Chains A and B, each alone.
Chain A
Amino acid sequence: GESVGLHLPTLSVQEGDNSIINCAYSNSASDYFIWYKQESGKGPQFIIDIRSNMDKRQGQRVTVLLNKTVKHLSLQIAATQPGDSAVYFCAENIRLSGGSYIPTFGRGTSLIVHP
């Protein structure tokens, strides 16, 4: 079946470096993608989203890039801080057979920031 997946399960970076977390998707009909951050012991928290009619979207210290040609999504975090250590999920808003749209999550990437 079609799915959302992540290339790297763990990413270790030094504080101050830029981080790039990648995500591959296979559902070509997906028109909306979301990145969530999940800190230890907490629920996922929305970071940023992008629609399929966009290539890039920027937030505060984060940028999401979408390459529809190769069905690839990335989250870039500038000047990574220890507080950025968490698991990051990309998710698609997938349309079910009944017509409802559901946030559907990939496996996640654990980002570890070393001081």
Chain B
Amino acid sequence: QSALTQPASVSGSPGQSITISCAGTSSDVGAYNFVSWYQQHPGKAPKLLVFDVSNRPSGVSHRFSGSKSRNTASLTISGLQTEDEADYYCSSYAGIDTPFVFGTGTKVTVL
């Protein structure tokens, strides 16, 4: 099972919106509505931002939203803030043999 493909970096100015893509296949992202997104600040553990494509856990800002179209999932950050500068990873359920696969990760820079 190969890692999901994300852009290495995405940047934006404060207040802008950015979108991070997560490209998979018909065996993972395209097959299940089980895409999740994680935020990781340097030296810290990842934190769940979005689950099941578009659901947010309690306590996560509404500025983070997820979506999916066929084999590609996306995370949009609206009203970009300096504290959003971090690495972001997508993950998808991929079936019984290899249940979970992560994306390659995207570094978000706030200009």
A and B held together in a complex:
no
Give me the interface of A with B, judged by CB distance under 8 Å.
none
B interface residues with partner A (beta carbon < 8 Å):
none
